[in-house]
Chains A and B, each alone.
Chain A
Amino acid sequence: MLREAIPDLGKMVEPDRVRRELYTDPQIFELEMQRIHETVWIYCGHLSQIPKAGDYYTLQIGRQPMVMVRKADGGVSVLYNRCPHRGAMMCGDLKGNTGEFFRCSYHAWTFHHDGKLKNIPMMESGYQGTRLTRDNPDCSMKPAARVDVYRGFVFASLAKDGPSLKEFLGPSIVAFDDMCDRAPEGEVEIVPNCFRVIQHSNWKLFMENQIDALHPSVTHQSTGRAAHEVEKEIAKNTKSGEAPLSYHMLSAFATVTIDKWDSFQTINYPYGHCILTGYMGLRPQDPDTLAYDKIMIEKYGKKRFEEIVGVNIHHVLVYPGLSVQSPLQQLRAVRPLSVDRTLTEIWHFRLKGAPEAIYRRSLAYYNLVNSPATLINADDLENFWKCHQGLASDGGDWVSFARHFGRDIEKNGAVESGPNMGTSEAPMRNQMKAWARYMKG
């Protein structure tokens, strides 16, 4: 269908439904990148990814290629990955070490880790009397407008105005606190591996699916059932009568009933973030857990320990681009590539000071659920593709988020799903409300 201009966005989002073009129109996608992803705080990475001066990681914020680099003074910069001279990308690799300074591969302009010009070849003979002087910002790599770090997690915003990182995260900051507090040393470090998977659909489908508590029992039935069969068999044949916890992590996708999911709760915040409460049964009484508990109690005292492990979180979504499973120390960063292609970067963290067995427990989830040979996400990605195909058709104009609509509870500036309505579509309604507000510009 030919369109001359972007349709009236105000008419595209209703409280319980949105127009399908939100997912399929390339012009709307461009505007989203500009008004949402290139404006709000976006997760770049963790400081432990770049431990040494000059270590860098490249990433995409909206449509902008960026590079996150560790400075000699221990700080971090996030810069546009672009030479100010002729526009060449400064770092062509996903990651690496740039040495004491950046050096362009085209004409050898060099820059400090904060992006400031170090040297231009022939600065004296070639540029005297031109507009290119050392103090001209056009001679330096452009930095992200704002960079902030919370407990090792690095965020950048490409807009100079707007809420601070802490204001933006609001209560969703618990995702990072929950991870770090459960480490005896109070911080996490990256497991140096990133699983990268591309889905053939709009980025919003991923964000909506993450806290759609009805979908696991439908989408992931096959793996849940298969894992449950093997789990029972192992339990029967072992002395302890128990299968490793990793089987439970998989079988839970089928054995957690919809009633149980409904007993969880979603809490939704104005910037689009969402917390899904509910525990995944990760506090068993096996010797590994007890050994970990002992270390934690020694470190924090009984009272604080109970507070820390009592945090009731299943999942935290930081809109528009981050999904955190803090009890398993893993996160997925969403990098939209185009209106119908989305990259997820999937990371796992180690609780510093925790026993190896605790690390291996969450590692099992990372490998089984989040690797490119995932037993779980394969079916999500299939659904995302199908949704995107259907939404691109003229078979209907609307996408519905009406499940438990009208029963949301507004409390302290947040919107909670009603009691025993954990499968509510409140998170999607809230995301779309935030989306509409951002898109007004």
Chain B
Amino acid sequence: MTMANLETQHAVEQFLYRQAELLDGKQWQAWIDLFTDDGIYWMPPEPSHTTWEGMPAIFAEDKNLMKVRMGRVLHPDAWSQRPLWGTNHVVSNVQVVSEDSKGNIEARSRFHMMELRRDDVRHFAGSYLHKLKKTGDGYRIQLQRVDMTNAQAAYDYVLQVWV
């Protein structure tokens, strides 16, 4: 791993913080817009998986499927969305793994997400791998891999939206 320059490090960190803010703020469309048109959000059920294609996956969503999920949570009859719920993401340990000549980035980070649903609190934590494409309008996500430490445990209830 090479040491990224401070400017790049700062830009990547700010991008990840913004993503966390959009999730916690339930700004679903703005969150989806962070992805490139062929971008993928992927959460494998176990860390040994190297691709989502043809594999069981907790999430393996392109932008169309993200749109389905957004449409569902915003639908007035999404019963599980009625109760009070919210999340709080903390993103840290940001490491720029590589940067190519075009400024495209691969970055690793860690997250901790607390979720409140009715009166119940759950904690999810793990690591992100982001493949970021540099555009004239800042970074866009080509691939976000989420390895959740809890991924292999039994789920007490389910995940409603992206982590």
Q: Name A residues whose Cβ lies closer than 8 Å to a Cβ of B.
A: 191, 193, 195-200, 219, 221-223, 225-227, 229-230, 233-234, 247, 250, 343, 348, 356, 359-360, 363, 366-368, 371-375, 377-379, 381-383
The residue on A at minimum CB distance from B153 is: A196
> Which of B58, B69, B70, B72 has the most CB atoms of chain A within a 10 A radius of its CB?
B72
Report which of A234, A371, A375 forms a contact with B56, defined as CB distance below 8 A.
Answer: A371
Binds A, one of B30-38, B74-82, B125-133: B74-82
B59 x A373 contact (CB < 8 A): yes
| A residues less than 8 Å from B83 (CB atoms) | 382
Whether A381 contacts B158 by the Cβ 8 Å rule is yes
Could you tell me if B77 and A250 are in contact, using CB atoms closer than 8 angstroms?
no
Contacts of A199 in B (CB 8 A): 157
A-side contacts of B56, CB under 8 Å: 191, 193, 195, 348, 363, 366-367, 371
Complex contacts, B78 vs chain A, CB 8 Å: 222-223, 379
Whether A230 lies near B64 (C-beta < 8 A) is: yes
A195 to B79, CA, bound (A): 22
Docked Cα-Cα span, A260 to B124, in Å, equals 41
Q: In the bound complex, do residue A200 and residue B157 qualify as a contact, i.e. CB atoms below 8 Å apart? A: yes
> B interface vs A, CB < 8 Å?
43, 45-46, 54-60, 64-65, 67-73, 75-81, 83, 153-160
Q: Which of B65, B68, B76, B157 has the most chain A CB within a 10 Å cutoff?
A: B68
Q: A391: shortest Cβ distance to chain B, in Å? A: 17
Is A371 within 8 A of B57, CB to CB? yes
CB-based contact A378/B68 at 8 Å: no
Inter-chain CB contacts under 8 Å: number: 107
Q: Which residues of B contact A367 (CB under 8 A)?
A: 56-58, 60
Q: Nearest CB to that of A341 among chain B residues?
A: B156
Residues of chain B contacted by A197 (CB below 8 angstroms): 154-155, 157-158
Asked whether B67 lies within 8 Å of A230 as measured between CB atoms, the reply is yes
Of all chain A residues, the one with the shortest Cβ separation from B157 is A381
Q: A223 to B70: give the CA distance in the assembly, Å.
A: 9
Contact present for B160 and A378 (CB under 8 Å): yes
Q: How far is the CA of A377 from the CA of B76 in the complex (A)?
A: 17
Q: What distance in Å separates the Cβ of B95 from its nearest Cβ neighbour in chain A?
A: 26
In whole angstroms, how far apart are the Cα atoms of A375 and B160 in the complex? Answer: 8
- CB neighbours (8 Å) of B155 from chain A are 195-198, 372
Q: How far is the CA of A195 from the CA of B72 in the complex (A)?
A: 22
Q: A356 near B64 (CB under 8 angstroms)?
A: no
Taking a contact as CB atoms under 8 Å apart, the answer to whether B154 and A225 are in contact is no
- Closest Cβ of chain B to A193, distance in Å, is 4
Q: A247-B68, A373-B159 are known contacts; what are 18 more A-B pairs with Cβ within 8 Å? A: A195-B56, A197-B154, A197-B158, A221-B75, A225-B71, A225-B75, A226-B70, A229-B71, A230-B71, A234-B64, A343-B154, A363-B54, A367-B60, A371-B58, A373-B59, A373-B160, A379-B79, A379-B80
The interface residues of chain B lying within 8 Å CB-to-CB of A226 are 67-72, 75
In the assembled complex, the Cα of A368 lies from the Cα of B78 at a distance in Å of 16
Residues of chain B with a CB closer than 8 A to A225's CB: 71, 75
Once the chains bind, are B80 and A223 in contact (CB under 8 Å)? no
**A198 with B71: CB separation less than 8 A:** no
A436 vs chain B, min Cβ distance (A): 31
CB-based contact A360/B158 at 8 Å: no
B contact residues around A363 at 8 Å (CB): 54-56
Q: Which of A222, A366, A373 contacts B77 (CB 8 A)?
A: A222
A-B contact pairs, 20 of them (CB 8 A): A193-B45, A193-B56, A195-B58, A196-B155, A197-B154, A197-B155, A198-B155, A222-B78, A225-B75, A230-B64, A230-B65, A230-B68, A234-B64, A367-B57, A367-B60, A372-B158, A372-B159, A373-B43, A373-B59, A377-B158
| CA gap between A343 and B155 in the complex, in Å | 9
Report how far A161 CA is from B76 CA in the complex, Å.
52
B123 to A: closest C-beta gap in Å:
15
Complex CA distance for A200 and B154, rounded to whole angstroms: 13
- A196 to chain B: which residues have CB within 8 Å? 153-155
**Separation in Å of the B34 CB from the closest CB of chain A?**
18
Q: A223 touching B67 by the CB < 8 A rule?
A: no
Give the distance to chain B from A347, nearest Cβ to Cβ, in Å.
Answer: 10
> Once bound together, how far apart are the Cα atoms of A374 and B58, in whole Å?
8
Report B158 CB to chain A, min CB distance, Å. 5
Q: Which 3 A-B pairs have the closest CB atoms?
A: A226-B71, A222-B75, A222-B78
